[in-house]
Amino acid sequence: MAGHSKWANIKHRKGAQDAKRGKIFTKLIKEITVSVKESGPDADTNPRLRLAIQNAKGQNMPKDTIDRAIKKASGADAADYQEVTFEGYGPKGVAVFVECATDNNNRTVSNVRAAFTKSGGSLGKNGSLEFVFDRKGIFVAELPEGADAEELELELIDGGAEEAEFEEGMVHVTTAVTDFGNMQKKLDELGAEVKEAGLQRIPNNLVVLTDEEFPKIWKLIDTLEDNDDVQKVYHNIDVQESQEEMM
């Protein structure tokens, strides 16, 4: 794949996430809860829950923790989360898309707005970033031992892959939203172990920041990701090698 590497950005983010494993587990459990509330506790008939469980396992969440989360979400006293999104711009025109699951919308709106304002950014109207991000299916999977990358790439293209990047026994696959289910089946057929999968917002134009500009803007991303109501944060920063250690 020529040009900017989305794989690189995912690896960078993964490193930052590893330092916040407790936060990750909290967000994964919340996704399990929302999934169960939406379509029930049976993963065989609830695709969203099945995906949430898969991602939890990919982050090495213990099975008993997953089972407890499903059981708790099935109870009458389970938290009732509302899913909301926010769109805005940080300094230097960086686009930021925030996905939340909250049991107190007023609190979430206040905290997200404060994060943008404090950084020198501002919230926009829903839909204001419609042309900045494309909705794509993303898979990160571990390849079977001894797998031939060229042969696998042809199989993945047949399964609907728009892009496939191979590195250190792993593959990062991008698909259209409509091919998400087909790619899940294809990776299963190929014996690849999916570590992370989901629909993500991929920027179609990237902003390059100087090393002086990066820390202030990254603080906004970090503050949002630290918020318990925030599930995912997307941005269009083209992270440079010199900026990895600042994350």
Kindly write down the DSSP assignment for every residue of 60-115, as one continuous string.
T--HHHHHHHHHHHHSTT---PEEEEEEEE-GGG-EEEEEEEES-HHHHHHHHHHH
- CA-closest candidate to residue 124, choices 150, 154, 94: 94
Amino acid residing at 99: E
The two tokens of residue 171 are 């593959």
The C-alpha atoms of residue 60 and residue 21 are separated, in whole angstroms, by: 10
The single residue listed with the structure tokens 């134009």 is: 205
C-alpha span between 162 and 136 (Å, rounded)? 10
Measured distance CA(168)–CA(47) in Å, rounded: 29
Q: How far apart are CA 222 and CA 231, in angstroms?
A: 12
Angle between helical axes of 214-226 and 105-119 (0-180°, round to 10): 170
Amino acid identity of residue 198, one-letter, is: G
Tokens of 152: 């696998």
**Per-residue pLDDT, 16:** 52
Q: What is the predicted pLDDT for the residue at 3?
A: 32
* Rounded Cα–Cα distance for residues 71 and 91 (Å): 43
Per-residue pLDDT of the chain (247 residues), as tens digits, is: 233 345 555 554 555 555 566 788 999 999 999 999 999 999 999 999 999 999 999 889 999 999 999 999 999 888 899 999 999 999 999 999 999 999 999 999 999 999 999 999 999 999 999 999 999 999 999 999 888 888 999 999 999 999 999 988 899 999 999 999 999 999 999 999 999 999 999 999 999 999 999 999 999 999 999 999 999 999 999 999 899 888 8
Indicate the DSSP class of residue 40. -
225, 179, 29, 201 alpha-carbon torsion, rounded to 10°: 10
In angstroms, what CA-CA distances link 23 with 7, 41, 83, 111?
22, 23, 18, 17
> What pLDDT score was predicted for residue 5?
45
| Structure tokens belonging to residue 65 | 């923790």
Structural domains of the chain sorted by starting position, each given as residue range(s) with its CATH number in brackets: 6-74 (1.10.10.200), 82-128+205-239 (3.30.70.980), 133-203 (3.30.70.980)
Using CA atoms, how far residue 155 sits from 140, 182, 185, 187, 193, in Å, is 16, 12, 12, 9, 15
Distance between CA atoms of residues 24 and 14, nearest Å? 11
Cα–Cα separations (whole angstroms), residue 171 to 105, 149, 166, 202: 37, 9, 4, 17
